[in-house]
Structure 1
């Protein structure tokens, strides 16, 4: 990886009334600082239903946890529903260690209705 490549990125799409945000790479303090404003902007304009897909997350620290909690707070403020797609066992283990696994609705996979008829894909660094 070159110095100008980020170790994280996101891709979004809207399916029906649900915004799916796929998080990729290392969710750390830098990711929180860089991706946080973009994710919050998406949540502000999104319908009430938001899915954070963690399957491609390779690392999660306090900054990444802070990002997840901030998204949860924004979605709740709008009266919405937030669901997480289960990441690797390591990521789920981290959520368990900090006792947040019960604070989110965690799904094993993206619901089928959200995999069909994909609309508006976007990739953001």
Structure 2
């Protein structure tokens, strides 16, 4: 990885009234600074319901945890629902260690209705 490449990125889509944000790579302090404003803008400008997909997160530290907590606060302020799709065992373990696993609604996968709608959206010309 070159010095210009970031170790994280995100992909988003909206299905129905839910914003799905896939987080990829290392969620650290730099990710919090860089991705935080983008995620908050998505939450502010879009639907109140958000799913954060952590399956592609490879690293999580205090900065990444701050990002998750900030998103939770933003979504709650708008009266929405935040759900997290569980990450790797390492990421899940970190959330357990800091006792945040019970502070989020955790999912094992994207809810079927959202996945079906997303598949339909990808098939439509």
TM bucket (normalised to shorter chain) is: over 0.9
Taking the aligned partners of 2:14 and 2:68, their CA distance within structure 1 comes to: 19
Q: Which of the two has greater strand per residue? A: 1
**TM norm structure 2:** 0.93
Secondary structure at 2:117's aligned position in 1?
coil
Q: Which structure has the highest helix share of the two?
A: 2
- Structure 2 counterparts to residues 10-49 of structure 1, below 5 A: 10-49=10-49
Q: Which is greater in Rg? A: 2
Residue 7 of structure 1 deviates from its aligned partner by: 0.2
Instruction: Return 5+ residue gaps in structure 1 as ranges.
Output: 121-125
SS at match of 1:109: coil
What is the aligned residue count? 120
Q: For structure 2, which runs of at least 5 residues remain unmatched after alignment? A: none
CA distance in 2, matches of 1:51, 1:106: 10
Shift of 1:59: 0.1
Q: How does 1:76-115 map to 2 (within 5 A)?
A: 76-115=76-115
CA shift for structure 1 position 45 = 1.1
Q: Which SS does the other structure have where 1:5 is aligned?
A: coil
In the alignment, which residue of structure 2 is the partner of 1:116?
Answer: 116
